[in-house]
Structure 1
């Protein structure tokens, strides 16, 4: 073999070694990426599940808002009933005191 052929072979060997090292690094990176990769069908199922959860949360929020409105209406009705009963109670006491004073005064 000639000197030029030997030099050419040496260069090709070093290039092949560097290409091999690069390929091994890329293979390692691809292995790491594949470990973290989520397949498309599985990702679709995950998104459907999350979407159902979001819909349920929105329904719960709407139910809570309706309950708050209903409780406000119920509590205002309750206060009206209580005020009405308190008024009649006070009128009854005042009537009793009035009659007691009239009967007691005579």
Structure 2
């Protein structure tokens, strides 16, 4: 099991390597839990990176998780309270994927 929670501060180039390492580290049948912000988060300004290049789109995550089974996928808005600069409604994506 790997939990990747709000790791979207990696640059786009770093992200490709990061997800390759995640896939490589998982054993067959192992799970990835991913949580991050979607581009709509830029409207809320309640946390997360200020650059759209660091936010998760459906297409981006589908590409990064190619070859894995998507067990659960949710894009939603929720109120967060995670300290200074991370309060209020946020645009989130949560994914659970399994390595085949």
TM over 0.5: no
TM-score normalised by structure 2 residue count:
0.17
Q: Which has the higher strand share?
A: 2
The structure number with the bigger radius of gyration is: 1
